Amino acid sequence: MGRGTIAGPVVSASVKLDKNLLLGNPEKFNDSKKLSGKERLNKFQKIIYSDSIFSIGIATHKEIDIHGIVEATKLSMKRSVNKLKTKIDIILIDAINLDIKEYNIGFNKADAISVSVAAASIIAKVARDHMMSRIYANLYPDYYFQDNKGYGSKAHIESINSNGISKIHRKSFSPISNMML
């Protein structure tokens, strides 16, 4: 999560979902972007307090600037998969195929089709949003990360125009790259 933001890391999650949350999708897991913040947090708590096994992987803003967002996303996904402490038969991924030893399939809109991918999407989005609103918002209060989570909102762009670029802004992303000319 966080592929389209102009600040902060990209975060991925891997989930082996508790069968009580998987079969029949009783919690109505869906693409995290289609859920309200309250719904995401509720579903996040259902996952982490169940018998699900999960992990997150992060690629930093510096890695994004060096490798590009697609490769940095793959890096965060690989880190997440490598941290997952369970037997893996197949990995379902939203839109990307990974070059890893585990068998994996990437297909578009996987988080709207697969309950497990939707759960991973929820874990990643909540984890990243909390990083932005609770850590980076305190480190860089002038950028209102508690409100914009690093997305290029009008207030965020205005704060960059007033305060300059922070250490966690993605220098390879527009409009940041344009401001550096």
Given a cut of 90, whether residue 2 has pLDDT beyond it is no
- CATH number of the domain at 175, please: 3.30.420.10
| Within a domain: 1 | no
| Encoded tokens for 152 | 């290029």
SS3 55: strand
Given a cut of 80, whether residue 175 has pLDDT beyond it is yes
Q: Which of 121, 166, 180 is nearest to 7 (CA)?
A: 166
Q: What is the DSSP letter of 123?
A: H
| Within a domain: 139 | yes
- pLDDT over 70 for what percent of the chain? 99
Structural domain boundaries enclosing 90: 10-179
Q: Are strands 104-107 and 91-94 parallel, antiparallel or unpaired?
A: parallel
| Within a domain: 5 | no
What is the chain's mean pLDDT, rounded? 93
Mean pLDDT of 141-162: 95
| Within a domain: 94 | yes
- pLDDT score at 60: 97
Given a cut of 80, whether residue 180 has pLDDT beyond it is no
Q: Is 181 or 4 the better-scoring residue by pLDDT?
A: 4
Q: Are 49 and 41 in contact (CB under 8 A)?
A: no
The DSSP bridge partners found for residue 7 are 169
pLDDT tens profile 51-100: 999 999 999 999 999 999 999 999 999 999 999 988 888 888 888 888 88
Longest dimension (CA), the chain: 53
User: Taking the model in full, what pTM does it have?
Assistant: 0.93
- Separation CA 56–CA 123 (nearest Å): 8
Rounded to 10 degrees, the C-alpha dihedral 29/30/34/37 comes to 30
| Within a domain: 2 | no
Query: How many structural domains comprise the chain?
Result: 1
| Within a domain: 133 | yes
Helices (H) and strands (E) in the chain, counts: 10, 4
Rounded to 10 degrees, the C-alpha dihedral 164/169/175/181 comes to 60
